Structure 1
């Protein structure tokens, strides 16, 4: 009996720790990604070109990894639908909006608004019965959201606020929340996360490639110096790690826990934007960070408490 109890306890701890590790690692990469996009803008790289080439590089990295593991993305009507819809919602459209907005509203602000999907995801998950209502987890989502809203409010209140780009950027979190729910509901049976990730990125690259043929858009990259190429290669590595961790977190933590990636990304991305890129610290940064941190803690505790009930 003691051995059985010990085994269950260790299993619960592993189930609790794995999503938390994926969350912090993936969030850190997300925060780094927004700052790399700002650097790309400073180098005259268009948002579409930077996103397309880095996503293409990331998909190649993950595809090679999948081939090495003999776990290539399966191709059929069901998985093709999954790749293209999740690639459109969670990669191409959301990131294009974010990367395009960064030169106008700053990397720090974009890092902050990526914390907004949890409430939308949580409400959707409750309505679709993916999640059971739990007071502690609901409080965690509300706390994280309150921190993000507090910071966003200060940004909107600034006298030089670019309202058009702020509102366009705010569409991104809606796309991410829908994508979080879609990937959970339509996850192809029996397909692993490291097979789905490259499939989604390849689909996103195809979508972005087609966008490059639209008037006013370009996929060209300056070739007179090596720095833009280096930056794209670095972003490709970041994207590869970020989206692989995203699928691992989705599988182990669920769509609501997954949506907290943005909260961790803000904790990393905002200080980097301030310290290394010279952006002004958002007003209310300390309060916002505390609320976001509290939300992550409450959601994580709530998730840990749900595990024993499921066993």
Structure 2
């Protein structure tokens, strides 16, 4: 993990590690999944818009930017959160955190297919190691307390694929010279429109004030955390590239498992530890860099 990027990666990973637990709390309190995602996107996008206005940063809405906002917002927020929030009521938050190291694994494979990264035996070995770890996490006695959760666990595994697509889109389609704050704001506001449309279509739109105040309070909290996370995410993406940014998966896994235990009393089985070690080992192999690789 790059030393200079470590503080930002730590904060980013910690926020994303907490997000599934907060979402699980909100969903357990009656919040509809798409409604929660909409308000998180709108709140964070609105907050970033205010920051952009205060700093005199213009948010571009030309065709190139709209294409970028739409692709990143659809893959990295709307679809990812639709999958995550639909699956979370049925699986442990700690298990979901174990899936997040698949983001850099899928990112590196995607970058190799697009010709942006050189595929190597190490990357392939790391991919197999990470997938083996996720498979072990789904086994009885690991991160899933009940075999009936397996279908939801497999569905949840699509979420890191969406994040990986968003990573790649962020590098390939981001218009040159776009300030990170403007890119984050445009993506989140576009994602909020997508989430609103999906929520209305599936009857999951949420009107604030209809639930207990403790549950409603999670909306502004999630909005503020999402705004901070996206600020860091786009800044890292522009300055360090998609592969370095995706290494926040280390922190997401550790903090996600911890929050699952603290907030929900989740206890992993004996096989969860070797599963986590396999996943993190695969992540290390896939994202490890040497002097022959240039930073992207």
Q: TM-score range by the shorter chain?
A: 0.7 to 0.9
* 2:181–2:231 Cα contact (<8 Å) kept: yes
* Other-structure match for 2:232: 245
Deviates more, 1:82-91 or 1:233-242: 233-242
| Alignment of 1:203 onto 2:190 | yes
Superposition deviation, residue 292 in structure 1: 4.4
Distance 1:257 1:208 in 2: 28
* 1:49–1:221 Cα contact (<8 Å) kept: no
* Other-structure match for 2:11: 25
Gaps of 5+ in 1: 1-14
Q: Choose which of 41, 60, 68 in structure 1 pairs with 2:46.
A: 60
* 1:20–1:300 Cα contact (<8 Å) kept: no
Deviates more, 1:139-148 or 1:180-189: 139-148
Following superposition of structure 1 onto structure 2, how do residues 28-39 of structure 1 map, counting pairs within 5 Å? Answer: 28-39=14-25
Gaps of 5+ in 2: none
TM-score by length of 1: 0.84
Distance 1:120 1:282 in 2: 26
* Other-structure match for 1:127: 113
Following superposition of structure 1 onto structure 2, how do residues 133-282 of structure 1 map, counting pairs within 5 Å? Answer: 133=119, 143-154=129-140, 159-223=146-210, 225-282=212-269
Distance 2:211 2:70 in 1: 34
Cα root mean square deviation, aligned = 2.6
Alpha-carbon deviations, 1:237-271, whole Å to 9, x = none? 11111111211222233223333333421111112
* Other-structure match for 2:67: 81
Superposition deviation, residue 306 in structure 1: 5.0
- Decide which structure has the larger Cα Rg and report it: 1
Superposition deviation, residue 137 in structure 1: 6.0
Distance 2:189 2:243 in 1: 25
Distance 2:287 2:70 in 1: 31
TM-score by length of 2: 0.88
Partner-residue secondary structure (3-state), 1:18: coil
